[in-house]
Amino acid sequence: MKIYTRKGDKGDTGLLGGKRVSKSDLRIESYGTVDELNSHIGLLRDFDELRDQKKLLIQIQHQLFIIGSHLATEPGKSFDYVPDLDPEEITSLETAMDTMSDALPEMRHFILPGGHQIVSFVHIARCVCRRAERDVIRLGKSESVPDGIISYLNRLSDYLFVLSREAAKQVGAEEVPWLPRK
C-alpha cells in the first residue's frame, strides 16, 4: 500500500465512511491535534525517568488512536474495526494520579512550567491535550462527538499535570510557585 494517494492535493481529505471534507474542517483539526498529542506522549515514553509510567503511556497512546479514529469517522457511521471507548480508561488515569499525588508534596500554589527538560515536555503535552479538548468541545457544538472523548481528554490533561510534578520529583527539579504580584 502506498502512503500517498494524491487525493488530498487540492486541500480536502476523506473521513472514514467516504465523505470528503476540507483539511481545515474542525473535525480534521480535532483529530490532528489528538495525533499531535499522541506524538508528544510518545516522546515522554522515551524518557527513562518515566519508566514507571511507560505501560500507562502506551495505553494512553492506544486510547488516543481510538479517539482519533472516532473523530475521523463520518457522523452517523460506525465500523467494527473502530473499538468503543472504554470508561475504565478514565479510571486508570485517576488511579495513576492518586498514586502519584500520594507521594508528592502538597500543592499550595500554581506551579510555573519548567525546571527540567522532561518537566517542560510533560507540560507541553498537557497544553496540547487542553487544545485537543477545546477543539473537540467546539466540534461537539455543531456535530456529533462520541460520549467519553471530552471526559477522557480532560482527565488526561489532569494526569499530565500530576505527571509533570512526578517528573520534577524524579529529576530533583525545583517546582517554582506562581505568586501574583501585589
Q: What is the pLDDT of residues 83-122, one digit of tens each?
A: 889 999 999 999 999 999 999 989 889 999 999 999 999 9
pLDDT reported for residue 11: 85
- Cβ neighbours of residue 141 closer than 8 Å, sequence gap 6 or more: none
Dump pLDDT digits (tens) for 124-167.
999 999 999 999 999 999 998 988 999 999 999 999 999 999 99
Residue 182 confidence (pLDDT) above 80: no
Dump pLDDT digits (tens) for 6-38.
877 778 888 888 899 888 899 999 999 999 999
- CB contact at 8 A, 178 and 108: no
pLDDT reported for residue 65: 97
Candidates 1.20.1200.10, 3.40.50.261, 3.40.50.880, 3.30.460.10; correct CATH number of 20-105+114-171?
A: 1.20.1200.10
